[in-house]
């Protein structure tokens, strides 16, 4: 397999590859390697915490679960704990693994590890990344499926977590 690196950034590698498909034919493909990530649905009683975050790629502010990229040498559950504090200012005593997803396997190998976060308590270590514009929103669990059905929640990882945590 021929691989050519097109771009390497702080958290992203883009490669052009010549791949052999299952039928034996070869094609040239671009693959993006962003590294791993985590996403958590923080639940407290009859409510859950979402964030409203501006996303420049779509030039919109959307509802999402807290999420973030795994640092080198960090285990996914460590990232989940860190990101909860950074994004919503809460610690979770209990993290329940809910599997993983491939959000866009047609062009990236990104894996997002999913967690349900319970037994929440405020943290005084809250510090968002400098490039994040985030508003923390407490949403009644009874409303979250309506928000998905009405198109208020369009983020794939958030919809997956709701399906896996709130059946």
SS3 state at 83: helix
Q: Which helix or strand (DSSP H or E) is residue 137 part of? A: strand 134-140
- The token pair that represents 15 in the structure block: 């490669």
Q: Which residues are catalytic?
A: 130
End-to-end CA distance of the chain: 43
In the beta sheet, which residues pair with residue 32? Answer: 14, 108
Q: If you search the block for the tokens 């309506």, which residue do you land on? A: 146
β-pairing verdict for 67-69 and 90-101: unpaired
Distances (CA, A) of 33 to 66, 71, 104, 125, 155: 21, 14, 11, 30, 20
Q: Which helix or strand (DSSP H or E) is residue 41 part of? A: strand 37-44
């Amino acid at each position: 397999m021929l691989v050519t690196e097109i771009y390497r950034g702080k958290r992203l590698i883009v490669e052009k590859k010549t791949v052999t498909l299952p039928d034996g034919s070869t094609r040239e493909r671009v693959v993006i390697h962003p590294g791993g990530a985590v996403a958590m649905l923080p639940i407290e009683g009859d409510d859950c915490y979402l964030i409203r975050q501006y996303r420049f790629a779509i030039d919109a502010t959307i509802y999402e679960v807290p999420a973030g990229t795994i640092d080198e040498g960090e285990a996914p559950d460590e990232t989940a704990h860190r990101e909860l504090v950074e994004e919503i200012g809460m610690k979770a005593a209990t993290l329940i693994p809910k599997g993983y997803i491939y959000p866009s396997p047609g062009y990236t190998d990104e894996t997002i590890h999913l967690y349900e976060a319970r037994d929440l308590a405020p943290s005084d270590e809250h510090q968002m990344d400098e490039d994040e514009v985030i508003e923390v929103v407490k949403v009644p669990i009874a409303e979250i499926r309506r928000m998905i059905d009405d198109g208020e929640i369009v983020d794939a990882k958030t919809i997956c977590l709701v399906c896996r945590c709130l059946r």
